[in-house]
A and B are shown apart, each in its own frame.
Chain A
Amino acid sequence: MTTTPSTFQLDIPEGLVTGTTVFRDEVTLHATKGAVLALLAHLKDVQKFEMLTDETCVDYYPKEPRFGILYQLYSLSRNIRVRVKVMLGEYDAVIPSACSVYRNANWLEREVYDLFGIVFEDHPDLRRIMMPSDYQGHPLRREIPVQVEEVAFTFNRERIDANKPRATE
């Protein structure tokens, strides 16, 4: 099921891209966080990738650098897709916001911030979007278990019951 053209030319200036990989006919451009805004602006203005289809994060834990920020771009006029990937370390999870290039990055980045704890510099409105504003932690990080509450069986029901938070009044 091939949906992406396997060959197209992208003439990208020196220094913006650190490497290119092709997997399953999908082109991924690797960039550093220092160059990502310039790369996105180049792709949008010169290469005519008008649309930011998606922006999300993949957690490669326990590898380091663990976070991969993925920008999925689409060109309406050329009908091709390209992906930009920036890797971020655990203690360096800060990246410039793409809102100045693609307006719709606003909510997409808020979601990544909320669920992964990546901080987007110069984001106009960096708040949680999915989780409650007083939530602690970032649930889509790989070290957070899916189920936090222990499952009650007959052998541990009493212990779980005794530790349940209950209203005092």
Chain B
Amino acid sequence: MLNEATKIPEQAMLVEDSPQNTVKAADVQLDITMEQLTRLVSPRALTGETMLLNMGPQHPSTHGVLRLLLELDGETVVNCIPDIGFLHTGIEKTAESKTYLKAIPLTDRTDYLGPMSNNLAFCGAVEKLVGIEVPQRAQYLRVILMELTRMNSHLVWLGTHALDIGAMSVFLYCMREREMILDVYEAVSGARMMSSYIRPGGLWRDVPAQFGALVQKILDVFPRRVAEYDKLLKDNPMWKERTVGVGKISAEDAIAWGMTGPCLRGSGVNYDVRKAMPYSSYDQFEFSVPLGSNGDVYDRYRCRLDEFEQSMSIIRQALKKLAPGPVMTDDRKVAPPPKHEIAYSMESLIHHFKLWTEGFRAPEGEVYFAVESGKGEYGVLLSGDGSPKPRRVHMRAPSFNNLQPLGVMSKGSLLADLVAIIGSVDIVLGDVDR
């Protein structure tokens, strides 16, 4: 791309004595060679006509540690090249050295705003691989918790997204409401964020007595509160000016880039794993899938806000269906026996000992199990090798796949709008980098 006549400005000059041949400049430091850079930016960047600007990773509106290399023509984004991996903690590698049960706490930490969805995706994959049936009560409780998790995820998204665009008060309201959901988490699992509550075969334990009242309180309070957020933003001219027509992506592009969740549905594509391939008895619930049409920031916002209502409807139905019963499979080869049984049953003692020392074995083979998390399709590809530890655990992270077309969505938009687009994609860097 560079010919001899092209003058390379100092900004993009190669440093000869650098062993890796990296570009060095005052404000842009890249772990990238000149040859790789020329493939990513337009030729105008190399002549100095456009500016290369580094954004992040320590930047509040990048929602964590997302780093962007921006090519700017004035205030217009010519190219946006995301650089990820700053939060890579090797969760997939670590999970290979844990038994199936002990790997669950790791899944909490991928998308840390939707821990229950991650738990369910992993446990669902284990259940599919081993062939475990889950009791009906546990399935309904999982549905309630999944929908609460979706609301939790959307609340944090709405708060931070509005904060990015400049609506401060929404953030405070959202955090206030989120407390109620975290209280439910705490009541059922003992932890407010890293729940690890869903286990292969069911749930860790039955929900406490106050569970119904806590969830009912949310159902009583939320509809009014969600209407309040909507009132603050929906017809707010400043909000609309910042979001309508910004960060557009067509339905074809969204599919081609593998986007899922509200980002895909904002473009009008009706794909929801809960409807397409129901899991955990989702086929017994009536709910609709909110769709957008324009695929812009505003439509993605509308989709998520409408999902609040659907989630609450699902929770109401599930509470009605909820009947007493076991919450854990009685297959002693995968589920631990009740403590009192250990006192008089030798077989239970052996099962207990085997499960907590060796774990249970899964057959050789691969399965893929996906759930609809707040952010999109969260899938787990699990490869068993006949031993109590997985050969490979791979999380199909919705944030990772939704972030990839950020450059496509932001091409030609203003720098200030880029912040709105990042917010609307709803990424969690723990999920992107794993």
Question: A residues near B, CB below 8 A?
Answer: 1, 3-4, 23-24, 26, 28, 50-54, 56, 58-60, 70, 72, 76, 79, 81, 83, 102-104, 106-107, 115, 124-125, 127-134, 139-140, 142, 144, 146
In the assembled complex, the CB of B11 is this many whole angstroms from the nearest CB of chain A, namely 20
Pick from B31, B84, B128, B256: contact of A130, CB under 8 Å? B84
| Secondary structure class of chain B's binding surface, majority of residues | mixed
Mask of B128-145 contacts with A, CB within 8 angstroms, 1/0: 110101100000000000
> Given A23-B365, A54-B368, A107-B400, A3 and B277 touching (CB < 8 A)?
yes
Chain A residues with CB below 8 A from B391, complex form: 58-60, 142
30 contacts between A and B (CB under 8 A): A3-B278, A23-B366, A24-B128, A24-B131, A24-B365, A28-B366, A50-B255, A51-B255, A53-B377, A53-B379, A53-B396, A58-B392, A58-B394, A72-B381, A72-B396, A76-B269, A83-B368, A103-B256, A103-B257, A104-B258, A106-B404, A107-B400, A107-B401, A107-B404, A130-B84, A130-B433, A133-B32, A139-B90, A142-B96, A146-B96
Count of residues in B whose CB is under 8 Å from the partner chain: 53
Question: Could you tell me which residues of chain B, from 234 to 285, have a CB within 8 Å of some CB in chain A?
Answer: 255-258, 269, 271, 276-280
In the assembled complex, the CB of A84 is this many whole angstroms from the nearest CB of chain B, namely 12
Chain A residues with CB below 8 A from B85, complex form: 128-132
> Chain A: which residue is nearest B404 at the CB level?
A107
Sample of 18 further A-B pairs with CB below 8 A, known A53-B379, A130-B88: A1-B127, A1-B133, A1-B369, A23-B366, A24-B128, A52-B258, A53-B396, A54-B396, A56-B392, A70-B366, A76-B269, A102-B258, A104-B258, A107-B401, A124-B39, A127-B32, A133-B20, A146-B93
What's the Cα separation between A1 and B39 when bound, in Å? 46
What's the Cα separation between A103 and B258 when bound, in Å? 8
Mask of B270-311 contacts with A, CB within 8 angstroms, 1/0: 010000111110000000000000000000000000000000
What 3 pairs between A and B have smallest CB-CB spacing? Answer: A104-B258, A133-B31, A3-B277
Asked if B40 is an interface residue, CB under 8 A from chain A, the answer is yes
> Chain A: which residue is nearest B392 at the CB level?
A58
In the assembled complex, the CB of B26 is this many whole angstroms from the nearest CB of chain A, namely 20
Contact count A vs B, C-beta below 8 Å: 119
Mask of B363-392 contacts with A, CB within 8 angstroms, 1/0: 001111110000001010101000000011
Chain B residues with CB below 8 A from A24, complex form: 128-129, 131, 365, 367
> Chain B: which residue is nearest A104 at the CB level?
B258
Asked if B58 is an interface residue, CB under 8 A from chain A, the answer is no
Asked if B345 is an interface residue, CB under 8 A from chain A, the answer is no
Question: B residues near A, CB below 8 A?
Answer: 20, 31-32, 36, 39-40, 84-85, 88, 90, 92-94, 96-97, 124, 127-129, 131, 133-134, 255-258, 269, 271, 276-280, 365-370, 377, 379, 381, 383, 391-392, 394, 396, 400-401, 404-405, 433-434
Instruction: Choose among B258, B377, B401, B434 the residue with the greatest number of A CB atoms under 10 Å from its CB.
Output: B258
> Chain B: which residue is nearest A2 at the CB level?
B128
Q: Are B383 and A81 in contact (CB under 8 A)?
A: no
Chain A residues with CB below 8 A from B131, complex form: 24
> Given A107-B400, A125-B39, A131 and B381 touching (CB < 8 A)?
no
Chain B residues with CB below 8 A from A130, complex form: 84-85, 88, 433-434
| Secondary structure class of chain A's binding surface, majority of residues | loop
Instruction: Choose among A59, A139, A146 the residue with the greatest number of B CB atoms under 10 Å from its CB.
Output: A146
Chain B residues with CB below 8 A from A127, complex form: 32, 36
Pick from A79, A83, A115, A142: contact of B277, CB under 8 Å? A79
In the assembled complex, the CB of A88 is this many whole angstroms from the nearest CB of chain B, namely 15
Q: Are B20 and A134 in contact (CB under 8 A)?
A: yes
Q: Are A51 and B258 in contact (CB under 8 A)?
A: yes
Chain B residues with CB below 8 A from A106, complex form: 404
In the assembled complex, the CB of B34 is this many whole angstroms from the nearest CB of chain A, namely 13
Q: Are A56 and B394 in contact (CB under 8 A)?
A: yes
Q: Are B271 and A104 in contact (CB under 8 A)?
A: no
Chain B residues with CB below 8 A from A53, complex form: 258, 370, 377, 379, 396
> Chain B: which residue is nearest A21 at the CB level?
B365
Chain A residues with CB below 8 A from B92, complex form: 115, 140
> Given A53-B258, A81-B368, A127-B36, A146 and B379 touching (CB < 8 A)?
no
What's the Cα separation between A10 and B40 when bound, in Å? 38
> Chain A: which residue is nearest B31 at the CB level?
A133
> Chain A: which residue is nearest B273 at the CB level?
A3
In the assembled complex, the CB of A36 is this many whole angstroms from the nearest CB of chain B, namely 17
In the assembled complex, the CB of A31 is this many whole angstroms from the nearest CB of chain B, namely 15
Q: Are A3 and B279 in contact (CB under 8 A)?
A: yes
Chain B residues with CB below 8 A from A115, complex form: 92
Q: Are A72 and B31 in contact (CB under 8 A)?
A: no
Chain A residues with CB below 8 A from B84, complex form: 129-130
Chain A residues with CB below 8 A from B271, complex form: 76
In the assembled complex, the CB of A79 is this many whole angstroms from the nearest CB of chain B, namely 5
Q: Are B381 and A54 in contact (CB under 8 A)?
A: yes
